Structure 1
Amino acid sequence: MPSTEFRRPVSPVEWWIAAHPKGTAPVLQLAVEGTGRIDAERLAAAVATAADACPGTRLVRRGRTWVDTGEPPAVRTVAAGRVVDLPDLQVALDDRRGPTCEVLLVGEQDPAIVFRAAHAVMDAGGVLLWAADVFRALRGEPLVGAPDTVTETDLLPPLEGKPQPPGLDYPALLGKPGPGRRTLWVRRSIDGYHAGLVARLATVIAPLTGAPEARFSVPVNLRRYAPETRSTASLSHSVPFAVPTGQDWSTTHERLLTLLAEERDAQARLDPAVLKMPIPVLRFINGALERKAAKTDRYASHCSLAHLGRVDVAGFSGAGFAATALYSLSTAPAGGPCEIDVVECAGHTEIVLSWHDGPGIAERAEAVLDAIEEALSPAALRTWAANDTARVVPQTTVVAGFAAQASATPDAIAVVDRDGQYTYADLDRRSRAIAAALQERGIGSGDVVGVLAERGRPAVAAIWGVLRAGAAYLPLDTAHPDARLADILTDAGAPLCLVDAPRPVPGALELDTLPTEPPPGWAEPAVGPGDLAYVIYTSGSTGRPKGVEIEHVSLSNYVAWATPMLGVDAATRMPLLTSFAFDVSCTSLFLPLLAGGTLLLPGGELNHATLRRLLTEDAPTVLTLTPSLLELVCELGVRPAGVLVVAAAGEVLRRSLAVQTLEVFGAACRVLNLYGPTEATIEVVAHEFHPGRDTAASVPIGVPTPNCTAYVLDAQHRFAAPGEAGELVIGGVQLARGYRGRPELTAERFVRLADGTRVYRTGDIVRVNARGVIEFLNRADDQVKVLGNRIEPAEIAQTLERHPAVAKAAVVPRHAAGGHKVLCAYVVADPAPAPEELQAFVGERLPRYMVPATVTVVGELPRTVNGKIDVRALPDPFAGAAAPAGQQQDRDELTRAVAAVWAATLGVDADRLADDADFHTYGGDSLLMLSMVAGVCREVVGAEHEQRFMDRLGDIVRRPTIEHVADLARSVRSAAVPVS
């Protein structure tokens, strides 16, 4: 049936609304605010498409019938401004000549879209149905539509008795309005969702009326009687509801639920006989009703409370626009009171109070909203003294800072690696030469350049060269598979990648082919605080890594705080103990080189031997590293002097390890626990360990750093009270710009509090303890950390599913026999590949730390009722890891010694260790393997053979079994030909 044949009868309530005096008929208006842009023509096309699915948007009244005109609602572009101030919202819509619906596009950048509908033809529920389909059309998704011709008459049971018309008995809540009928809208966003919201609002407002009992009208969506109904008609009725002043909200809520359970809304209805009344007569009555209300200052109730429900803003996003808020702005009917419209979305409760404007009305409206906000979100929870961190934000950049430092101390040693050193003049000259070469190739502000090089002086020069060219550097880990590196470079849109050796990656440019001197007179481009400094990729829950974009102002703010906090100065010698692709590397890369200190670069893979040499020969003064690596350092058996600060970051710092650190480096050493996701520029929360005060099992993460803030929100996005657990969200100048090329993901993770503060949702569950510092508790999602690296198990599972034999896969963290958390994969596959094949498959595509320790083939992936993987129903991959009976008796002395080291490292009884089982089978990871190797060197091989044994580290990594390690140890001790 052609859509233009759509028609439906006018219902009694629609007839009454249509009979309002000219220009006074109420209009429903849904505003959608967001970030990005929406093209007006594209929006108009989506509105037209949605109108075919929701023909109720094209109606005009012909007598007592709504008729489809076939003309979609118009889309009008209006100048940017506050939606509540738009004069266009004061204009009524004509139910006879039309249009009865229209759309306003407010502004161009970060616009608002306002859906307007005459209340005679549609209710708020209908507007939501319509708007949702418009955004589905924008996204190119199938439309749900609202083709039903259902009206209130079809949904309601027979009327019991004759309904009593409401009287004008209640004074205006906000006082007598001025002349005219201009509507004032006052909006307030409040953090969180709140159970029994209408009841809470009623109990707050009741005392403000000055009456012993307040009277409210509560619109109820009649679609609840037929949930399958897809109609945009006016299907809501206002139920009268009295609330005694002083009654608690829970009692009020119970009474309201009882009223609805008894279907009182079905009887609180307009007399159907109103349809028999001619429009002119009814219009006269409505006009008289409005005049009497204005003259006597008496209305049908004290206030109308309309709750539109909870809305997912993702459903109102698309085509380059990400919704951040939805709210409703209504206009009052004849004799109607002020109205409070509520929508819950994006973690906020959006409240708009509407009433006729007049002297003092706005101030009284704000006072009402103040009372509501204090009741829902007390100021004592919204404010935290530790968030008073505002300082002068640095307006310089690290580029300018390094140039100044190089000019001031050209002969000071800047960088030291195993092959030599750079003075500040050397690094200045080399980095400017690279910058000039990049500039000649068209690289400049806004570009991203990859840096793929081992941890040495060329890599440092390359990074500074990219920054001095005005571009952003993209650090890549040389240990990652080529395929992953290529994917990241492509995703980042990097035209070039600086490499220290030939690499099969897009845009590879070898550093040794570039000039070592800048051209004479080369002018360094200006770099501003808002320019991009670097992009670092982290694991993604969608199976695709995501690039975090950090601006110079964020980096400069971190440097300005961290330099004095870590005691960095010209005497500092700070080693780089992480990959450049881990943002903790920025601490070592920038702090010493901006203070005249020295950056130390340990050569090759980090292991106990290189760490011991670093601590005993290179005289570091400040260490910044993960707790996992710190644990290995503390096991070296050395007591280095001169280390003044140890800063742990990236993982939970156990108190026992912090105490051990003080024992190793001396009581004068400061131990810092630093916290911050990549999305917040390295670290934003910090705590100095005090063994006398910090007595919990893990060290607190602390309080926010300068120009950074931290908030704890509960599961309903409300501010948590001190001591209560909740998600940590962080704000301030160090927040990332967002995820490169991922606006939807950026909108999902970078959100705003109700006061407009931009924050990042960390997914970490924390609490503020009695001492006013933040304690980390756990994760809110499946994300895990290995050696400080964030890992989304979903990315590993999706990689496994790319194997031709794997139908489904799941990866979950489990505790191995020694209590260590490892990644375990479960696959549904036919035919079933060997676990080693699947591990190798993942290893060719993902970093080594993301390769699951075990792979188990299962018939299906069991799930809970909520659709999540049921970990308890999965087989334990470590259950069969015990050694064969009697094997321990067959071991020779050396093998027993190796097994003892394994047992101590893994926390597993030596009798349970099979000689031919893989180290990872027992929960070993790469850092535990280094601890094991260090133990074998110390307990089995001996110092005189250590270097020869360490030369075979690659053999151990490829075949980590007790018998193989024992054979290698035996080989080097006897100076025999090494075992392959």
Structure 2
Amino acid sequence: MLQHPRPYPEPCFGVHDQVLAAALAYPRSIAIREDGGEISYRQLERRATALARRLMYAGIPPGSVVAVRMRRSTDQVIALLGVLLAGCAFLVIDPDDPEERRAFMIADSGAAGVVAREADGEVAPGEIRLDDEEFGRGINLPARGGADLAYVVYTSGTTGVPNGVEITHDNLLNFMQWTIRAFAVTSQDRAGYAMGLTFDAAQSEIWPYLASGASIEIVDPMTRTSAELLQRWLIERAITIGTIPMALAEQLLSASWPQGIPLRLMLTGGDVLRAFPRASLPFEFVNNYGPSECTIAVTSGRVPVRGEMTDADGPDLLPTIGAPIDGADIHLLDDDMQPVPDGAEGEIWIGGRCVGRGYRHRPQLTAAKFLPDPFSIRPNARLYRTGDRARRLASGEFAFCGRTDSQTKIRGVRIELDEVAVCLQRHPSVGAAVVTVREHAVSGRQLIAYVAPVPGRGEGDAGLASLPSAEEMRNFVERHLPRSHAPAHFVPLAALPMTRNGKVDLEALPAPEPIAPAGRRPQTETEMAVAEIVCDILELDDVSADDDFFLIGGHSLLATQVVIQSREAFGVELTLRDLFETPTIEGLAAEIDARLAQGRGFVPAMEAPPQQGLELR
């Protein structure tokens, strides 16, 4: 039996206590697997406990926020658990986010420390290094849980400044307990860890499964952005429950799947689901909905095949967002906070055990979004105002009807359009900016930025000439915001069109014109081959050697296809990072040529055709 150096508090009130209970019950079972190794529950507990003691030895008091600056890995999960064991709350920091954003979140959260490792960048002075050594056997760990803070996650803000959402142990335990019950999670399950690092949905892939003695399989960066590779990974790794980003989940619904695979549940959420599963799929498909402020998910429902839709709302109804989970109260209210009749649209307000504390260091915003719950008999109960609209169907499930403000989601990423516009307006050569969303046949939902010059820089063409180039504006946005927030198109205007009331006339904004190749034509054989791959994926007639993939309609999911096809065409090892760092046709071709010249070619294992490939229909 696993021997602890000090007794852990009983009964179990903290998220970490649930994991420790599983470690006692299943000490030799595999807790986490990733390429290159695996660790047991015994090893997970020992390493996390050592980190917790190291944090306490460093003088970080219980109740503090501790940032974990690591990529998705076994070490990252160990660090998150170690922070909880130290009585602190964790803040996940993606090392690939812009430095300015990382620094802001650490400072704004008031983080008392940062845990890091060499594999994700240099460990700065003052940061706490994660290692394998035993530490501080005489240091007792505090008992924390219940209303204590478990984690902070940052979401987009309408003012251009992201807001830190505070989630307690009780909030997260409610979600964990519902997940374990609703999906019958046991120690025999294998769950994938594939969601974006800084999304709260990533926590849904960790804690319910570690609390059940199940194992977590960590997906590599390339696989998690490719439907074909992800399908193969789910099958080969014998995943039983997979949480998949919406954009990839919709593709996987159309794939050809073998029968009898271990996968029994595929979960998705974070965006509007527009596809139904086929009757032949060997697993159940579940759609979840919930804002970060209310702990990952507040409604959930199995998505039926289209032929099973019997609701009177009509055959064109999109999949619902399900019914309330345990501990979540869903109210559809009108502008006077009165319930609307069943079948009528109303704004979604959320109450119950799932509602988080509020926004860190934002008391006014918290007071505006978290209001006293007039429908509850619980003392100090609050409702969270989502800004989402829905209607209740006869089945008791909810049909999502859109937003009431400027917030949107692009490939599952929650984005405040005003945040991107505010960022652009910080550029010294941009006088005004507005950001909208448009549908593209190939790229899906895209951010479109309309920019006008600073007044006084000249009239007509002279004013437009003073604006920065699309490439410069994209680079500017990516220095301040995550890459997912960068617009796909930048439309220069002499001035933004206005309504009589002095607001931007969104209806008068022109559609972005197709981007014509403006540079030299591809010349070398490699450039021409890369250009052909890009044209095929983006469905373009032509590209120049100077074209930036991300400025002609590309995004991370399509970038994965470019990398995969380039690897197959040239037999060289490429990664998504290569394309992000050299996004032009010329740059990627030069990178390929350099690797071929160095003899770094290889025959990738993925080139062997799978028995059950991805056949989109």
User: TM-score w.r.t. structure 2 length?
Assistant: 0.83
8 Å CA contact 1:701–1:775 kept in 2: the answer is yes
Where does residue 212 of structure 2 map in the other structure?
595
- 1:345-356 to structure 2, matched below 5 A, reads none
Where does residue 609 of structure 2 map in the other structure?
none
Where does residue 297 of structure 1 map in the other structure?
none
Aligned residue type for 1:749: K
What is the CA-CA distance between 1:892 and the residue it aligns to? Answer: 9.3
- 1:436-451 to structure 2, matched below 5 A, reads 436-451=53-68
8 Å CA contact 1:430–1:518 kept in 2: the answer is no
What is the CA-CA distance between 1:479 and the residue it aligns to? Answer: 1.3
What is the CA-CA distance between 1:809 and the residue it aligns to? Answer: 2.2
What is the CA-CA distance between 1:537 and the residue it aligns to? Answer: 0.5
Where does residue 288 of structure 2 map in the other structure?
674
Where does residue 941 of structure 1 map in the other structure?
568
Going from structure 1 to structure 2, the CA distance change for 1:922 and 1:816 (only over 3 Å counts) comes to farther
The one of 443, 449, 472 equivalent to 1:837 is 472
The structure, 1 or 2, with the larger RCO (C-alpha pairs under 8 Å, 6+ apart) is: 2
Where does residue 348 of structure 2 map in the other structure?
728
SS of match in other structure, 2:355? coil
The one of 385, 403, 408 equivalent to 1:779 is 403
Aligned residue type for 2:94: D
Q: Which is worse superposed, 634-643 or 763-772?
A: 634-643
SS of match in other structure, 1:479? coil
Aligned residue type for 2:40: T
What is the CA-CA distance between 1:677 and the residue it aligns to? Answer: 0.7
8 Å CA contact 1:898–1:966 kept in 2: the answer is no
CA distance in 1, matches of 2:254, 2:308: 25
Is residue 249 of structure 2 the alignment partner of residue 630 of structure 1?
yes
What is the CA-CA distance between 1:443 and the residue it aligns to? Answer: 2.3
What is the CA-CA distance between 1:731 and the residue it aligns to? Answer: 1.0
Where does residue 685 of structure 1 map in the other structure?
299
What is the CA-CA distance between 1:900 and the residue it aligns to? Answer: 7.3
Where does residue 827 of structure 1 map in the other structure?
451
SS of match in other structure, 2:211? helix
SS of match in other structure, 2:104? helix
Is residue 554 of structure 2 the alignment partner of residue 924 of structure 1?
yes
- 1:892-903 to structure 2, matched below 5 A, reads 899=532, 902-903=535-536
SS of match in other structure, 1:451? strand
Is residue 328 of structure 2 the alignment partner of residue 708 of structure 1?
yes
SS of match in other structure, 1:574? strand
8 Å CA contact 2:333–2:347 kept in 1: the answer is yes
SS of match in other structure, 2:366? helix
Is residue 379 of structure 2 the alignment partner of residue 760 of structure 1?
no
Going from structure 1 to structure 2, the CA distance change for 1:855 and 1:883 (only over 3 Å counts) comes to closer
| Deviation by residue 1:884-921 (Cα, 9 ceiling, x = unmatched) | 9xx99x99999589657755x55x4x437677644444
Where does residue 482 of structure 1 map in the other structure?
99
Is residue 280 of structure 2 the alignment partner of residue 645 of structure 1?
no
CA distance in 2, matches of 1:778, 1:912: 36
Identity %: 34
Going from structure 1 to structure 2, the CA distance change for 1:635 and 1:954 (only over 3 Å counts) comes to farther
8 Å CA contact 1:654–1:697 kept in 2: the answer is no
Going from structure 1 to structure 2, the CA distance change for 1:580 and 1:765 (only over 3 Å counts) comes to same
- 1:194-233 to structure 2, matched below 5 A, reads none
Where does residue 321 of structure 1 map in the other structure?
none
| Deviation by residue 1:605-639 (Cα, 9 ceiling, x = unmatched) | 43438635632432211101221132455677764
SS of match in other structure, 2:206? helix
Is residue 470 of structure 2 the alignment partner of residue 847 of structure 1?
no
CA distance in 2, matches of 1:642, 1:823: 38
Going from structure 1 to structure 2, the CA distance change for 1:953 and 1:624 (only over 3 Å counts) comes to closer
Where does residue 881 of structure 1 map in the other structure?
515
| Deviation by residue 1:502-556 (Cα, 9 ceiling, x = unmatched) | 55879522223xx622433442211131110000011111111100000111111
Where does residue 748 of structure 1 map in the other structure?
368
8 Å CA contact 1:816–1:922 kept in 2: the answer is no
Where does residue 717 of structure 1 map in the other structure?
337
8 Å CA contact 2:350–2:385 kept in 1: the answer is yes
Going from structure 1 to structure 2, the CA distance change for 1:799 and 1:866 (only over 3 Å counts) comes to same
CA distance in 2, matches of 1:789, 1:397: 29
Where does residue 8 of structure 2 map in the other structure?
none
8 Å CA contact 2:68–2:116 kept in 1: the answer is yes
Going from structure 1 to structure 2, the CA distance change for 1:459 and 1:818 (only over 3 Å counts) comes to closer
The one of 4, 15, 22 equivalent to 1:405 is 22
CA distance in 1, matches of 2:577, 2:17: 42
8 Å CA contact 1:414–1:424 kept in 2: the answer is yes
- 1:131-142 to structure 2, matched below 5 A, reads none
What is the CA-CA distance between 1:874 and the residue it aligns to? Answer: 2.6
- 1:49-68 to structure 2, matched below 5 A, reads none
Aligned residue type for 1:679: E
Aligned residue type for 1:751: L
SS of match in other structure, 1:410? coil
| Deviation by residue 1:385-442 (Cα, 9 ceiling, x = unmatched) | xxxxxxxxx9732211111111111111101122311110101001111111111223
CA distance in 2, matches of 1:436, 1:590: 21
Where does residue 358 of structure 2 map in the other structure?
738
CA distance in 2, matches of 1:505, 1:553: 34
SS of match in other structure, 1:844? helix
Is residue 111 of structure 2 the alignment partner of residue 510 of structure 1?
no
The structure with the larger Rg is 1
SS of match in other structure, 2:510? coil
CA distance in 1, matches of 2:441, 2:174: 44
What is the CA-CA distance between 1:862 and the residue it aligns to? Answer: 1.9
8 Å CA contact 1:540–1:795 kept in 2: the answer is yes
Going from structure 1 to structure 2, the CA distance change for 1:747 and 1:504 (only over 3 Å counts) comes to farther
8 Å CA contact 1:459–1:500 kept in 2: the answer is no
CA distance in 2, matches of 1:964, 1:522: 53
| Deviation by residue 1:223-252 (Cα, 9 ceiling, x = unmatched) | xxxxxxxxxxxxxxxxxxxxxxxxxxxxxx
User: TM-score w.r.t. structure 1 length?
Assistant: 0.53
Q: Which is worse superposed, 617-626 or 711-720?
A: 711-720
CA distance in 2, matches of 1:427, 1:491: 30
Going from structure 1 to structure 2, the CA distance change for 1:589 and 1:873 (only over 3 Å counts) comes to same
CA distance in 1, matches of 2:269, 2:124: 31
What is the CA-CA distance between 1:931 and the residue it aligns to? Answer: 3.9
What is the CA-CA distance between 1:679 and the residue it aligns to? Answer: 0.5
8 Å CA contact 1:710–1:729 kept in 2: the answer is yes
Is residue 48 of structure 2 the alignment partner of residue 428 of structure 1?
no
Aligned residue type for 2:113: L
SS of match in other structure, 2:92? strand
Aligned residue type for 1:432: T
What is the CA-CA distance between 1:597 and the residue it aligns to? Answer: 0.7
What is the CA-CA distance between 1:959 and the residue it aligns to? Answer: 4.6
Aligned residue type for 1:956: L
Aligned residue type for 2:299: V
Going from structure 1 to structure 2, the CA distance change for 1:619 and 1:819 (only over 3 Å counts) comes to closer
Unpaired runs of 5+ residues, structure 2, are 1-10, 310-314, 458-465, 602-617
The one of 954, 958, 973 equivalent to 2:577 is 954
Unpaired runs of 5+ residues, structure 1, are 1-393
Report how many aligned residue pairs link the two structures. Answer: 563
| Deviation by residue 1:856-876 (Cα, 9 ceiling, x = unmatched) | 332222222344322232333
CA distance in 2, matches of 1:398, 1:480: 27
| Deviation by residue 1:52-109 (Cα, 9 ceiling, x = unmatched) | xxxxxxxxxxxxxxxxxxxxxxxxxxxxxxxxxxxxxxxxxxxxxxxxxxxxxxxxxx
Going from structure 1 to structure 2, the CA distance change for 1:437 and 1:955 (only over 3 Å counts) comes to closer
8 Å CA contact 1:533–1:550 kept in 2: the answer is yes
Going from structure 1 to structure 2, the CA distance change for 1:722 and 1:897 (only over 3 Å counts) comes to farther
8 Å CA contact 2:23–2:45 kept in 1: the answer is yes
Going from structure 1 to structure 2, the CA distance change for 1:874 and 1:483 (only over 3 Å counts) comes to same
Where does residue 35 of structure 2 map in the other structure?
418
What is the CA-CA distance between 1:932 and the residue it aligns to? Answer: 4.7
